[in-house]
Amino acid sequence: MFYNTRKINLIAGLACLALFGFSLFLQFYAKLPPCPLCIMQRLIVLSLGIIYLMAAIPKQRLWQIVMNTLCLVTTLLGASVSARHVYLQSLSPEQLPGCGPGLNFMLKYFNWLDTLKAMLTGSGECAQVHWTFLSFSIPQWTFLWFAVFSLISLWNLLAIKSKSI
């Protein structure tokens, strides 16, 4: 059976771009304000889409291994951020961390490491569930997508290493 990793990467990259587009739709059309963790997940999805599209470029085997490894690492990073977000949403109100400053404020007055730390930690605003589909929140769906992309990346790596590309 022939498994074409480049076509799979192209489809995964387009799926990531569609997910990113959907997040923009939710923000600007449905008027759902993104929290810092949402913004971080959005940036990871966009980055993953770009990496998948770069992995779809026909290059040597080493390029495919490096790009698909980068895809796997990026999906694991995204899954950890969305898992943190899901965790915050599962906390009771008395366990929630306080709300932090907005992203614009942090970018203006914090150095980039403090801003990144604050974004990854999340705050009370990240615990709010503004939208659900089939009773899953946006971070739960995002975690599911990162899990799917992780499996795709792992499968691609196994296919490349077995020389079936």
Q: 48 in the Ramachandran plot: left (φ > 0), alpha (ψ -120 to 50) or beta?
A: alpha
Count of Cβ atoms closer than 10 Å to residue 74 Cβ: 23
In angstroms, the CA 63 to CA 54 distance is 9
pLDDT > 90? residue 111: no
pLDDT digits (tens, 9 = 90+) for 29-67: 988 888 878 888 999 999 999 999 999 887 788 888 889
pLDDT > 90? residue 21: yes
Q: What's the chain's average pLDDT?
A: 81
28 or 88: which leads in pLDDT? 28
Domain covering 5-161 in this structure, CATH number: 1.20.1550.10
Per-residue confidence (pLDDT) for residue 1, from 0 to 100 = 41
Per-residue confidence (pLDDT) for residue 78, from 0 to 100 = 93
Give the lowest-confidence range in 17-21, 49-53, 54-58, 148-152: 54-58
DSSP output for 6-51: HHHHHHHHHHHHHHHHHHHHHHHTS--PPPHHHHHHHHHHHHHHHH
Domain borders along the chain are 5-161
Q: Would you say the C-alpha torsion 35, 37, 38, 43 has a positive or negative sign?
A: positive
Total-model pTM: 0.77
CA 125 to chain centre: 19
> What's the distance, Cα to Cα, between the start and end of the chain in Å?
10
